[in-house]
Structure 1
Amino acid sequence: MQNYESVLRYAMQMELDGHNFYMENKDKFAKTTSKKMFLELADIEMKHYDYLKSLLDTYLETNTIKIDPEMIEKEEDMDIFRDREESEKIEYTLEQSDIPDLTILRMAYLIERDYKEFYENVAQNSEDEEIKEVFTTLAKWEAGHEELFKTEYNRLMKEYMNLPWGG
């Protein structure tokens, strides 16, 4: 069996960095809905961190990875972000912002893409089926985050590029 301690610790740090990024940047948005979205994503990243920490603790005690089926089943999937966008009219709210902060959205998109790619790489290179399942699931979760930010970034960039000169 491969040694997954360093992989799990690195993944934990990535989730903590994501949490910190969302917390540090939530107040840079003009609209409350965008701030709320970043707060929710910060919370989700902390849940990912806690899940990875529990996996690491188990791994250090038993040298095995035990998947928590409840965590896998109850964790958000890509639809939670679509549902939230529809329920809170994120598109409308961001459209009404004075100057959408494209830089923050792009940074968030790139962070989530990097996380997804890291998790996919771990899953593809793992010899352990439980590790493959854990990191494939984490990659899917991060892909949902990536999709949300990429879609918003592209939409806002198109809107921004069509503004008359001088705003």
Structure 2
Amino acid sequence: MKRDELFIIKQAILNEIEGCEFYKMAEKQADNEEAKESFLILASEEMKHAEYLKELFDKMEKDDEDLKLAYLLEPPSPHIFDWTKNKFKRSAMNVSIYGMAVNLEKESVEFYEDARDKTENSEARKLFDILVKWEKVHLEQFLKAYETSMDEWWKEQGYEPF
């Protein structure tokens, strides 16, 4: 099972790096400093997650015994932002960026839930539960921003279906 867990953690590292790069790209599209700063902070968080997972991977790879994941330092906790304040030049851009962010976070949640469900190592399950919670915080933030952006876009188009 250790090899499977190492593979999952390697994939998780890549997922976090992809998230980091996405948020850097979103920062370049933002037209106000608050949005730019928020995306850069989130990119930094994703990189911290990747570094944490890399350290975990290295420890697991070197250790022949079962690694007691619960004894590791707690991974860096996500900050909470009010993403509804962050505006881009066009509401269509908001919808696109927040929509992609929602999908990215959903995929991360599903990835960690799947990893948690597949592992037989109870300590690994605890780690994956922590990662699921982090990604759900991001998902909830982006869902709110996405819904707000959709409402703004509908208003700009002269449609207010609700």
Of 140, 144, 149, 2:142 maps to 149
**Counterpart for residue 90 of structure 2:** 99
Residue 74 of structure 2 corresponds to which residue in structure 1? 71
| Compared CA separation, residues 51 and 92, structure 1 to 2 (3 A) | closer
- The verdict on how the C-alpha distance between 1:55 and 1:150 changes in structure 2, with shifts beyond 3 A counting, is same
For 1:109 and 1:133, locate their aligned partners in 2 and report how far apart those are by CA, in whole Å.
24
Label 1:69 to 1:114 Cα distance change in 2 as closer, same or farther (>3 A): same
The percentage of aligned residue pairs carrying the same residue is 27
Matched-pair contact (CA < 8 Å) for 2:6–2:61: yes
Gaps of 5+ in 1: none
Q: Which 4+ runs in 1 deviate beyond 6 A?
A: none
| CA apart distance, 1:31 | 1.7
CA pair 44-99 structure 1, distance change in 2 beyond 3 A: same
Q: Distance in 2 between matches of 1:15 and 1:75?
A: 14
For 2:112 and 2:70, the matched residues in 1 are separated by 15
User: 1:67 and 1:163, CA in 2 relative to 1: closer, same or farther beyond 3 A?
Assistant: same
Q: Equivalent residue for 2:116?
A: 123
Q: Distance in 1 between matches of 2:139 and 2:19?
A: 12
SS of the counterpart of 1:44?
helix
Residues 2, 127 of structure 1: 8 Å contact kept? no
Count of aligned pairs between the two proteins: 153
The answer on whether the counterparts of 1:22 and 1:38 sit within 8 Å (CA) in structure 2 is yes
Q: CA deviation at 1:69?
A: 5.2
CA distance in 1 between counterparts of 2:12 and 2:133 reads: 14
* Residues 1:163 and 2:156 are matched in the alignment: yes
Structure 1 residues 28 and 98 mapped into 2: Cα distance closer, same or farther (>3 Å)? closer
How far apart, CA to CA, are the structure 1 residues paired with 2:149 and 2:116? 33
Q: TM-score, structure 1 length as denominator? A: 0.83
**1:68/1:40 CA distance change after superposition, 3 Å:** farther
Q: Distance in 2 between matches of 1:41 and 1:2?
A: 30
Any unmatched runs of 5+ in structure 2?
A: none
- CA pair 68-146 structure 1, distance change in 2 beyond 3 A: farther
- CA distance in 1 between counterparts of 2:8 and 2:84 reads 37
Task: Confirm or deny: 8 A CA contact 1:9 1:56 kept in the other structure.
Answer: yes
Shift of 1:163: 2.4
- Report the equivalent of 2:29: 28
Q: Which moved more, 1:58-67 or 1:150-159?
A: 58-67
